Every structure is written in C-alpha cells, then in structure tokens.
C-alpha cells in the first residue's frame, strides 16, 4: 500500500465516510475570505479576524506542511424531530467536536507511524475547511456556501489533518450547482446575499447560536419555529436525494429533548438545562440564550396555552429572557385579538 492508500484505510477504520487529499497551498478563495471579513460579515465572531495569514494558508499553521488530508463524516439523523419547533440536525444529540477529535487522534497516530507530523482540526481551527475540501474533491462549495458531498449531499461534517507527508493530490470534482438557486430563494432572512456568500449577521444559525445579545427584532418573525440553528439552505438542496441516515447513533435524535414542548423548556432550571443537554452542542449557548430562542419561537407559533409560562419568564431576573418573553406575550396577544 502507498502512504496515501494507508491513510485512506486509516480514515475508514476511524469511521470517516470519505477521505481525499489536497496539496498544501493557499486556500483557493482566500481573497473572498478577506473581503468577507473586511465587510464585517462575521459579526461578533472576532476570532475569525485573528491571524488571517494562518487561516488562509496551512503552511503558516504547520511548518513543512505538504498535504491536507480532508475528511467527511455523514451526520444525517433523519428527516424530522420535535413538535412545534426545529433544531438544526447537527445538534440533535452529541457534540461532533468531541466525537471527531477522537477519530482524528487515531489517524494522527497512524500517520506518525508513516513518518508524518500532523496538526488536526475540526471546525475550531484556523483553517478554511470548505476550501480544502473543494480542492481535494470531496465535493464543492454550493451557492449556500455549504460543502456538497458528491454522494452524501449537505449533511457532512468536515475535518482535516495538515501533514508534513508529501502525498499525491486527488482531483477536484468541480461545481455542480448549475442554474439552481433553491438555497438562495429559500433562505428566510435573505442571508445568502450573493452566490457563495453568507452574511452571518443575517443568518439564523448565527443569530440563534453565536450571537449573544437580544435578537434584532427585524429577524425574529423570520426565525419562525427554529429553536437552534437553521437547516433551510441544506434541506432544499437537490443533492440530498442520495442522503443516508448516519451510522453514528450519537447523532440520532435525543428523545429526552424532543419529547418536550417548547413551553416546557421555559421551566428548566440551570441544572436541569445542563443535564438535558449534557454532551450536546446546545449546552454551549447556556440557559439564558436558549430560553431567549424559545421565546422567539413561541412569539411566532405560541397560543393562549403558552401565556402562563411566558408571563413567568417575563419576570425572569435575566433581562435577556424577560425582554424576549415580553415580546412573545405581546405577539400571542396580538394574534388572539
């Protein structure tokens, strides 16, 4: 077996669905990334601005880096879960960072045995992950900016090992969006401001997860029943016709969460919140931001039955929760009238 074949074998053994290799070079759309930052599209994600030279070129991250081993893991947990609200599928159960990091560590050990020195990342590293995935031919960056895998569609996590091993690069697969604009048309907040460009400040995923303060009123109605994250531009993509449910049961819907009605989340104490979302990415946004989101959903979908719980939340000591609960009460009363 060649070193590249051994690495692909290691990836399969670790549990990844696909593994392809790109040469270490400046990210193909580094220029667009710099413009995106200059235009402030990253909002409050200040960490995105730091060390752009590193983020744009893996050779600045790992001295002597020759190749980028790009990996995809299918997380598709099924078509629907939850009654009266939606949670982005990537967050239906356990946090992918912890699961994938263990898989990467295993691959790193195998690659050390081949003589390589590696740095490995999933999501949080200074790497333009989707650009390298495109160069390696895992798929291509759709107009939604989501990386579309040739067989698995949009429902994949990306990860990579930067390595000093010089490996033959795989061929890119090319762009296969054609004339389709479904994702742009479907985006509830018009966050895809041009093909291949998402203004995070308008994106529901950003507003409900990354954004810390009050949700700007102009976006609250468009958020609809989305409690955490947004899958709209993924769901409508025709390349999902081949999507298969993930083999990893830790990504499948957590029953204890999805059996709850939105108003039941309002009664969670801090301790109960942490227990319900143990090991879940949702735990990261903490109770106050989560309840803020619950209030937005109830403001859009709630009925008279939700008013008692919302009125209690409107008296919450945390002004973030109290303000959003008050807004929701006003919206429901407006509908009832």
Per CB under 6 A, the list member of 32, 101, 235, 318 interacting with ligand B12 is: 32
199 binds ligand SF4 (CB under 6 A): no
Site string for ligand SF4, 211-240 (x = CB under 6 A): -------------------x-xx--xxxx-
> What is the CB-side half-sphere exposure of residue 291 using CA atoms within 13 A?
29
| 122: helix, strand or coil | coil
The verdict on whether 123 is a catalytic residue reads yes
Q: CA 28, CA 132: separation in Å to the nearest integer?
A: 8
Site string for ligand B12, 168-207 (x = CB under 6 A): -------x--------------------x-x-x--x-xx-
If we measure between CA atoms, which residue out of 143, 142, 111, 141 comes closest to residue 128? 141
Cβ closest to ligand SF4, residue 115 vs residue 216: 216
Interacting partner of 70 out of ligand SF4, ligand B12, none (Cβ under 5 to 8 A depending on kind) = none
CB atoms within 10 A of CB 197: 16
Q: CA 85, CA 124: separation in Å to the nearest integer?
A: 28
Instruction: Indicate the helix (H) or strand (E) that contains 136.
Output: helix 129-136
Report the residue number whose CB is nearest to ligand SF4.
Answer: 142
Interacting partner of 123 out of ligand B12, ligand SF4, none (Cβ under 5 to 8 A depending on kind) = ligand B12
If we measure between CA atoms, which residue out of 55, 71, 52, 32 comes closest to residue 196? 32
Could you say which residues in the range 179-198 bind ligand SF4, by CB under 6 A? 180-183, 187-189, 191-192, 198
DSSP state of 126: S
128 binds ligand B12 (CB under 6 A): yes
Total of residues contacting ligand B12 (CB under 6 A) = 38
276 binds ligand SF4 (CB under 6 A): no
């Amino acid at each position: 077996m060649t070193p590249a074949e051994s690495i692909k074998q290691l990836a399969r053994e670790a549990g990844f669905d696909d593994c392809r290799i790109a040469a270490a070079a400046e990210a193909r759309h580094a220029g667009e990334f710099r413009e995106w930052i200059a235009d402030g599209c990253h909002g409050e994600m200040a960490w995105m601005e730091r060390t752009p030279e590193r983020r744009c070129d893996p050779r600045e991250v790992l001295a002597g880096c020759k190749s980028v081993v790009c990996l995809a893991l299918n997380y598709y947990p099924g078509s629907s879960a939850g009654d009266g609200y939606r949670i982005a599928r990537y967050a239906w159960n356990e946090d992918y960072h912890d699961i994938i990091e263990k898989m990467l560590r295993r691959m790193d050990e195998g690659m050390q045995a081949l003589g390589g020195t590696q740095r490995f990342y999933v999501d949080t590293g200074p790497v333009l992950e989707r650009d390298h995935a495109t160069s390696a031919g895992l798929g291509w960056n759709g107009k939604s900016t989501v990386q579309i895998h040739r067989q698995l569609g949009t429902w994949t996590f990306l990860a990579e090992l930067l390595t000093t091993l010089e490996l033959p690069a795989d061929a890119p697969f090319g762009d296969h969006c054609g004339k389709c604009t479904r994702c742009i048309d479907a985006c509830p907040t018009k966050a895809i401001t041009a093909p291949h460009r998402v203004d995070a400040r308008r994106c529901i995923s950003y507003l409900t997860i990354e954004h810390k303060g009050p949700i700007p009123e102009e976006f609250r109605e468009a958020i609809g029943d989305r409690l955490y994250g947004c899958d709209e531009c993924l769901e409508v993509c025709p390349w999902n016709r081949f999507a298969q449910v993930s083999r990893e049961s830790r990504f499948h819907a957590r029953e204890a969460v999805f059996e709850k009605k939105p108003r039941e989340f309002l009664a969670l104490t801090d301790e109960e919140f942490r227990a319900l979302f143990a090991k879940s990415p949702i735990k990261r946004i903490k109770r106050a931001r989560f309840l803020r989101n619950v209030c937005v959903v109830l403001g859009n979908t709630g009925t008279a039955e939700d008013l008692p719980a919302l009125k209690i939340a409107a008296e919450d000591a945390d002004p973030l929760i109290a303000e959003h609960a008050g807004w929701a009460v006003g919206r429901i009363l407006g509908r009832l009238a």
